[in-house]
C-alpha cells in the first residue's frame, strides 16, 4: 500500500495533517493572539520571537496563518462535506432508481451547472452578508451538481454489475443493496473527489476573501491575509508570501491526495502490471544456426520486472515456419502464447525485456529499431487480433482504414487504393464492398469487423499472418466462416499463418503444426494430427480430455486438471506442471525437463505417457 501510494502522497497527507491540527489546536498553542496589534515591531521579517514575522500592524503572521486556517480549511472541508451530504443521496437515487427520478434530478442538475458559479456566489454573499456560515453554504451548494453527477456515474457503473443483480436475486431489499453493495464501491471515487473538491473550495474561499467577500476582519483568512499583504509587497514581502505559500502547499496536497486515491481505484491488480523499468542485462542467446526458412524464432524470451518479482512470460521458445503452413500456438490464459507473438512482432510494452532472435527469411528482426520494424509490420507480417473493435479506429470509415496501408506501404494513388480496397473486401467475403467503404466500424457486426481487419492485414501481401485468437469473440457459426476464410487466403496468398488459440478443436482442424505452451515454456510440439492423437506430455493429454466434445456421451465426466496454472512470479522448481500432474515423481521436482526430440514430435517430460495409452485415452480428441 505504502509503496503504491508513493512518498509524495504521504508528504501531502502529513502537510494536511499538520495544518489541520494547528487549526484545531490553535487556542492551545503558544501563539500570540491573532488580533493583538503591536505584538512586535510592525513589518519585521522572521525572527525567534515571530517565526514568520509580523504584519503592518505588528500582528504575528504565524498566529494569523494558523487562525486563518480555521476559516480556510473549515470552509474547505465543511463545504465539501455539506455538498456531499446533499449531492450523494441525490446521485445514488438517480443512478440506482433510474427512470423518472434520474430524469428529474439530472435535468435540475444540468440547469444548476449552467449557472455562472462565481457570479452567483458573489451575489449571494454580497446580499446575505459575508459570514463564515454564508460563505460555507454558498460554496457547498455550488459543489452539489458536481457531486450529483459524480456519484450518479459511479452508482450507474456499479448498479449494472452482476453482483448487484445477484443480490437482488438473493432477495436483498433495495436499501441493503444500496448500503452494502453500492455505497462501499462509490466511497473510494467519492473520497478522491472530495480531496480535489477541498482544493477547489480553498481556492474559491481565498478568491472571495481576496475580494473582501468572505469572513470580515479582524478574523483572518488566507485570502484576506494575501489581500492585506498586497500593499506591503515592497517593504515586507513575507506578509504576502507566507500565506500564499501555505495556501499553495495546502491546495497542492489536497489535489495530490485526491489524485493518488483515484489512481488507486483505477489500477486493476494484476501480477503483470508493469510499474517501473529496471535495466536488466541483455539475455544471452544460445549458439544457433540461421536456417533457410521463412520465419525462424530462436530462444525467444520475454520477461517483465514487476514489483512482485521477475515474470518470465515467454521463456525460451524456438520454432521455424515455412510458407503454406499453419502453426498453432495453444495454451491456457497466462501460458504466454499471446506474449510470444507480440514478442516476435516487437509489439511489447516498454517494461518488457526481450531476448532471443527472430529471423524473417534469414534477416534478424530483433536487431531492428521500432521505427525500422514499421516497414516490416504490414508489408511482410500481417496481424489479426481477438477484438476487431480495438484494431479499428472507431471515428474513421472502413474505406480510409483499408486504403491507408495501401497508400503508405505500396504507394498507391487514391483511386487505385480504393479499387484495391474494394477487391480486398470482396475477397474476404464482404457483400457490397463499395458501400462498406463509407461505413464506420460500429455499424458492422463482429464477424464483419473481423473480416475487415483480415482484409487490412492482407492488404500489403504479407508473408506471415499472425492471428491471435481471431475468432474467440465471434459466434460459433461466424467463427467457422472466418477460419475457413483464413485457410482459403493462406492458400491463395501462399502465406504462412501463426494461429494463437485456446480452443483445441479449432487448432486440431486448421493447423499443420502445433506448439503447446504452459507457464511460458513449450511443453509439447509437433504435427497437429500427431500431437492430438498421441499426446505424450501429461498436460497436453489432460487438456484434451478436459475439453468437452460433441461425440462424448451426455453427462460424460471430463478430465479435471487439479489446481490452477502456476503463479509466474513463483514457479515451482523443476517441471512447472508437476504440482498438477498425476504422474509426477521425485525427479520432476528437481530438474526441469528439456524438450526432447522424437521424430519431429517433441515433448518436455521426464515420464511421457506411453503411446498405447495415449491412443486409448486421447483417440477421439483430434476428431477432424
Partner 1 sequence: MAGSGKAHLRPRDEVLLRVEDLVVEFPAGRGRTVRAVSGVSFDLARGETLGIVGESGCGKSSAARALVQLPPPRSGSVRLDGRELTTLRGEALRRTRRQLQMIFQDPISSLNPRRRVREIVGEGPRVWNLPGDRVDEVLEAVGLDPATAAVRRPHEFSGGQCQRISIARALILDPEVVICDEPVSALDVSVQAQILGLLEDLKARYRLTLVFIAHDLAVVKNVSDRIMVMYLGKVCELAPSADLISRPAHPYTRALIASIPDGGLDLPPSDTLISGEPPSPVDPPSGCRFRTRCPRARERCAAEEPQIRQVGEDHWLACHFPALPDPEPPVEDSNKE
Residues forming the site for partner 1 (CB under 8 A)? 161-163, 165-173, 176, 180-181, 184-185, 269, 332-333, 431, 445, 447-448, 475-481, 483-484, 502-506, 508-510, 542-543, 546-561, 564-565, 620, 622-624
CB of 505 to partner 1, least distance (A): 4
Write the CB contacts of 419 (distance below 8 Å, at least 6 apart in sequence).
none
Nearer to partner 1, 3 or 555 (CB): 555
CB of 169 to partner 1, least distance (A): 5
Beta bridge partners of 327: 498, 513
CB of 489 to partner 1, least distance (A): 15
Nearer to partner 1, 163 or 248 (CB): 163
Place of cell 492551545: 28
- 45 by DSSP, 3-state: which? coil
CB of 447 to partner 1, least distance (A): 6
Buried b (16+ CB within 10 A) or exposed e, 100-114: eebeebbeebeebee
Nearer to partner 1, 240 or 504 (CB): 504
Nearer to partner 1, 193 or 539 (CB): 539
Please name which of 31, 118, 13 lies closest in space to residue 68, comparing C-alpha atoms: 31
The kind and range of the H/E element at 384 are strand 381-384
Nearer to partner 1, 124 or 188 (CB): 188
The conformational region for residue 101 under phi > 0 = left, psi -120 to 50 = alpha, else beta, is: alpha
CB of 446 to partner 1, least distance (A): 8
Nearer to partner 1, 323 or 439 (CB): 439
Cα distances (Å, whole numbers) of residue 492 to 197, 380, 421, 451: 62, 16, 17, 16
Grid coordinates of 269 = 491488480
Q: How far apart are CA 18 and CA 10, in angstroms?
A: 12
CB of 278 to partner 1, least distance (A): 25
CB of 511 to partner 1, least distance (A): 11
Grid coordinates of 10 = 504521504
**Is the C-alpha dihedral spanning 437, 438, 441, 444 positive or negative?**
negative
Nearer to partner 1, 477 or 599 (CB): 477
The conformational region for residue 429 under phi > 0 = left, psi -120 to 50 = alpha, else beta, is: left
CB of 75 to partner 1, least distance (A): 31
The conformational region for residue 535 under phi > 0 = left, psi -120 to 50 = alpha, else beta, is: beta
Nearer to partner 1, 180 or 291 (CB): 180
CB of 576 to partner 1, least distance (A): 14
User: In the 8-state DSSP scheme, what is residue 327?
Assistant: E
**Is the C-alpha dihedral spanning 217, 222, 227, 233 positive or negative?**
positive
Nearer to partner 1, 58 or 271 (CB): 271
Contact in structure between 570 and 553 (CB atoms under 8 Å) = no
Nearer to partner 1, 166 or 233 (CB): 166
CB of 513 to partner 1, least distance (A): 17
Q: How many CB atoms lie within 10 A of CB 455?
A: 26
Q: In what order do the strands lie in the sheet with 381-384?
A: 381-384, 464-468, 496-501, 326-330, 513-518, 521-527, 602-603
Amino acid at each position: 500500500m505504502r509503496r503504491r501510494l508513493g512518498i509524495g502522497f504521504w508528504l501531502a497527507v502529513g502537510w494536511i495533517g499538520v495544518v489541520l491540527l494547528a487549526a484545531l489546536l490553535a487556542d492551545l498553542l503558544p501563539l500570540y493572539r491573532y488580533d493583538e496589534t503591536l505584538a512586535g515591531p510592525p513589518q519585521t521579517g522572521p525572527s525567534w520571537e515571530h517565526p514568520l514575522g509580523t504584519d503592518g500592524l505588528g500582528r504575528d503572521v504565524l498566529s494569523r496563518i494558523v487562525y486563518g486556517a480555521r476559516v480556510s480549511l473549515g470552509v474547505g472541508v465543511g463545504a465539501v462535506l455539506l455538498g456531499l451530504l446533499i449531492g450523494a443521496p441525490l446521485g445514488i437515487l438517480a443512478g440506482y432508481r433510474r427512470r423518472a427520478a434520474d430524469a428529474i434530478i439530472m435535468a435540475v442538475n444540468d440547469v444548476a451547472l449552467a449557472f455562472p458559479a462565481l457570479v452567483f456566489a458573489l451575489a449571494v454573499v454580497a446580499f446575505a452578508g459575508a459570514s463564515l456560515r454564508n460563505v460555507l453554504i454558498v460554496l457547498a451548494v455550488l459543489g452539489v451538481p458536481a457531486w450529483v453527477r459524480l456519484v450518479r456515474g459511479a452508482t450507474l457503473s456499479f448498479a449494472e454489475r452482476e453482483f448487484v443483480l445477484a443480490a437482488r436475486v438473493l432477495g436483498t431489499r433495495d436499501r441493503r443493496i444500496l448500503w452494502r453493495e453500492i455505497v462501499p464501491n462509490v466511497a473510494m471515487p467519492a473520497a478522491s473527489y472530495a480531496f480535489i473538491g477541498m482544493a477547489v473550495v480553498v481556492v474559491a474561499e481565498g478568491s472571495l476573501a481576496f475580494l473582501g467577500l468572505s469572513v470580515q476582519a479582524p478574523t483572518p483568512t488566507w485570502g484576506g491575509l494575501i489581500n492585506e499583504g498586497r500593499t506591503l509587497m515592497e517593504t515586507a514581502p513575507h506578509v504576502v508570501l507566507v500565506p500564499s505559500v501555505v495556501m499553495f502547499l495546502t491546495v497542492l496536497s489536497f489535489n495530490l491526495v485526491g489524485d493518488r486515491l483515484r489512481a488507486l481505484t483505477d489500477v486493476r491488480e494484476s501480477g503483470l502490471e508493469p510499474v517501473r523499468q529496471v535495466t536488466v542485462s541483455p539475455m544471452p542467446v544460445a549458439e544457433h544456426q540461421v536456417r533457410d526458412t521463412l520465419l525462424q524464432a530462436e530462444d525467444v524470451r520475454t520477461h517483465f520486472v514487476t514489483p512482485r518479482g521477475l515474470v518470465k512470460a515467454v521463456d525460451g521458445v524456438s520454432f521455424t515456419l515455412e510458407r503454406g503452413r499453419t502453426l498453432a500456438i495453444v495454451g491456457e490464459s497466462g501460458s504466454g502464447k499471446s506474449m510470444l507473438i507480440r514478442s516476435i512482432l516487437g509489439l511489447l510494452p516498454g517494461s518488457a525485456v526481450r531476448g532471443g532472435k527472430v529471423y524473417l527469411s534469414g534477416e534478424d528482426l530483433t536487431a531492428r529499431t521500432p521505427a525500422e520494424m514499421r516497414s516490416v509490420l504490414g508489408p511482410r507480417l500481417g496481424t489479426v487480433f481477438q477484438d476487431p473493435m480495438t484494431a479499428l479506429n472507431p471515428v474513421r470509415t472502413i474505406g480510409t482504414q483499408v486504403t491507408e496501408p495501401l497508400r503508405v506501404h505500396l504507394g498507391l494513388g487514391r483511386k487505385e487504393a480504393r479499387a484495391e480496397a474494394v477487391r480486398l473486401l470482396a475477397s474476404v467475403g464482404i457483400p457490397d464492398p463499395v458501400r462498406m467503404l463509407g461505413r464506420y466500424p460500429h455499424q458492422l457486426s463482429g464477424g464483419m469487423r473481423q473480416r475487415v481487419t483480415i482484409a487490412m492485414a492482407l492488404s500489403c501481401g504479407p508473408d506471415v499472418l499472425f492471428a491471435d485468437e481471431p475468432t474467440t469473440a465471434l459466434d460459433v457459426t461466424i467463427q467457422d466462416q472466418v477460419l475457413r476464410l483464413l485457410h482459403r487466403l493462406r492458400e491463395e496468398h501462399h502465406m504462412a499463418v501463426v494461429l494463437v488459440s485456446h480452443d483445441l478443436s479449432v487448432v486440431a482442424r486448421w493447423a499443420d503444426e502445433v506448439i503447446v505452451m504452459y507457464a511460458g515454456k513449450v511443453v509439447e510440439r509437433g504435427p497437429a494430427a500427431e500431437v492430438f492423437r498421441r499426446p505424450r506430455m501429461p498436460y497436453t493429454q489432460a487438456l484434451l480430455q478436459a475439453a468437452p466434445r460433441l461425440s462424448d456421451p451426455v453427462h460424460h465426466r471430463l478430465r479435471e486438471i487439479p489446481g490452477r496454472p502456476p503463479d509466474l512470479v513463483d514457479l515451482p522448481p523443476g517441471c512447472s506442471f508437476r504440482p498438477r500432474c498425476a504422474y509426477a515423481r521425485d525427479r520432476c521436482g528437481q530438474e526441469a525437463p528439456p524438450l526432447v526430440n522424437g521424430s519431429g514430435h517433441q515433448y518436455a517430460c521426464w515420464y511421457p505417457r506411453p503411446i498405447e495409452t495415449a491412443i486409448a485415452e486421447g483417440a477421439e480428441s483430434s476428431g477432424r
